């Protein structure tokens, strides 16, 4: 279900994952493009202080945004140093969360974001993001987010 490594000083082992911060695609892409905003500043400051991770969907989205083969390999290798979680077992919960938000008048624009938020909710992780899709998850469902 999960794989990971030595995440810049945050030793993770086996499947005993403690709560960590999942960094969303929106933040990784800005960070890699050297865009300055509160989220990338937080990431830059906390890289060696916090337990950070990402989902396999986030990994895919970030890598899809990189056209250069050499940079693709470098970024892939760096991101794989963090804990990378598969979204297995989230299917029913994703649908339930989507329905709960729809019933309250919220529409999640990207299903990937629904998976990411649901994964964080199920496993007690906080999310660092720059995407309005996650606000209803925070407001209605109690998603923990990093305040920047």
For 45-50, which contacts have Cβ atoms below 8 Å and span 24 or more sequence positions? 46/21, 47/8, 48/8, 48/9, 49/9, 50/10, 50/20, 50/21
1 found inside a domain: no
* Strand partners of residue 127: 22, 145
Do residues 18 and 102 touch, judged by C-beta distance below 8 A?
Answer: no
CATH number, domain with residue 133: 3.40.50.1010
Residue 4 lies in a domain: no
Residue 106, domain member (yes or no): yes
Q: Is residue 56 part of a domain?
A: yes
Name the phi and psi angles at 127, rounded to 5. Answer: -120, 135
Number of domains in the chain: 1
Residue 7 lies in a domain: no
Is-contact 121 14, C-beta < 8 A?
no
pLDDT band at residue 88 under the 50/70/90 scheme: confident
Segment 7-33, tens digit of pLDDT? 332 333 343 456 899 999 999 999 999
Give domain status of residue 2, yes or no.
no
HSE-CB at 129 with a 13 A cutoff on CA atoms is 22
Kindly state whether residue 13 falls inside one of the protein's structural domains: no
- pTM of this prediction? 0.85
Phi, psi torsion values for 133, nearest 5 degrees: -60, -25
Q: What's the CA gap between 82 and 3, in Å, rounded?
A: 9
Report whether 74 contacts 44 (CB < 8 A). Answer: no
* Boundaries of domain holding 93: 19-141
Q: How far apart are CA 52 and CA 42, in angstroms?
A: 12
Asked if residue 8 is part of any domain, the answer here is no
Which pLDDT band holds residue 85 (cuts at 50, 70, 90)?
Answer: very high
pLDDT of residue 136: 96
């Amino acid at each position: 279900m999960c794989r990971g490594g030595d995440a810049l000083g945050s030793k993770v082992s086996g499947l005993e994952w403690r709560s960590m911060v999942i960094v969303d695609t929106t933040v990784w892409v800005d960070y890699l493009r050297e865009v300055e905003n509160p989220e990338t500043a937080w990431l830059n400051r906390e890289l060696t202080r916090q337990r950070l991770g990402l989902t396999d969907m986030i990994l895919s989205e970030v890598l899809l945004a990189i056209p250069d083969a050499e940079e693709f390999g470098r970024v892939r290798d760096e991101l794989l140093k963090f804990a990378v979680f598969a979204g297995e077992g989230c299917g029913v919960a994703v649908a339930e969360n989507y329905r709960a938000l729809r019933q309250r008048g919220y529409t999640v624009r990207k299903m990937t974001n629904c998976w990411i938020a649901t994964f964080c909710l199920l496993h007690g992780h906080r999310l660092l993001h720059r995407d309005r899709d996650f606000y209803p998850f925070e407001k209605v469902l109690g998603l923990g987010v990093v305040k920047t």
